[in-house]
Amino acid sequence: MGKANQKIRAWWKYLLSFFKQDWDLSDYPITAREHEIDPNYVGTRLQQHKYSAQIVNWWVMSGGGDTKDEAFRDLQKHFLSTKAERVKSGKKLPRPGTHVEIEFASSARVDAHPELAGDFVRRVLNLDWAFLSDESSLWDFHSSDDNQALIAKIIEVYGVDVSDIESAKLWQILDRIAAS
């Protein structure tokens, strides 16, 4: 579906949204795409999907699968989970067709160690920069089945064992390194 067609569908779904208050997935403009599968990918933790389905203008609301139907079912599951979380927290769903801003998690705990965080990104993650939030974990920076390589790198660089931090949250790891 081209960009112009997506805009038209988003506009149409936006107009229709004024005729009801409780929106379901079918009230949103959805686009599906087919992807090339990388035959050289050897990771097992992160799965490649041949198809993705996504709500237009709400880019984090997506699903994937080996068929279009699987991608739509995955999107439906993600949508229902998000809808339930929003209802529980008293937040409304965004109106169909409108642009939904990406919401970033807080970074207050990571920001408690700005120099260490920058050093960690460069020396452990081997990146020039990275956005880190309080929800960031070691799992976000590799596709291996475990965190052992990064844990070993942390021990090598900082002399601190963080293997017992089950969540692998970076703020907890940074706190441990700073305290040592």
Q: Are strands 30-34 and 58-65 parallel, antiparallel or unpaired?
A: unpaired
Q: For residue 10, report the phi and psi dihedrals to the nearest 5 degrees.
A: -65, -45
Q: Which two tokens stand for residue 32?
A: 């599906």
Name which of 89, 95, 38, 28 is nearest 62 in CA terms: 28
The pTM for the full model equals 0.73
pLDDT tens for each residue of 14-42? 999 999 999 999 999 999 999 999 888 87
Q: Which two tokens stand for residue 6?
A: 């997506």
Asked if 14 contacts 98 with a C-beta cutoff of 8 angstroms, the reply is yes
pLDDT in the model for residue 2:
82
Q: For residue 65, report the phi and psi dihedrals to the nearest 5 degrees.
A: -175, 175
pLDDT in the model for residue 3:
86
Mean pLDDT over the full length of the chain: 95
Report helix, strand or coil for 143. coil
> Is 1 a residue whose pLDDT tops 70?
no
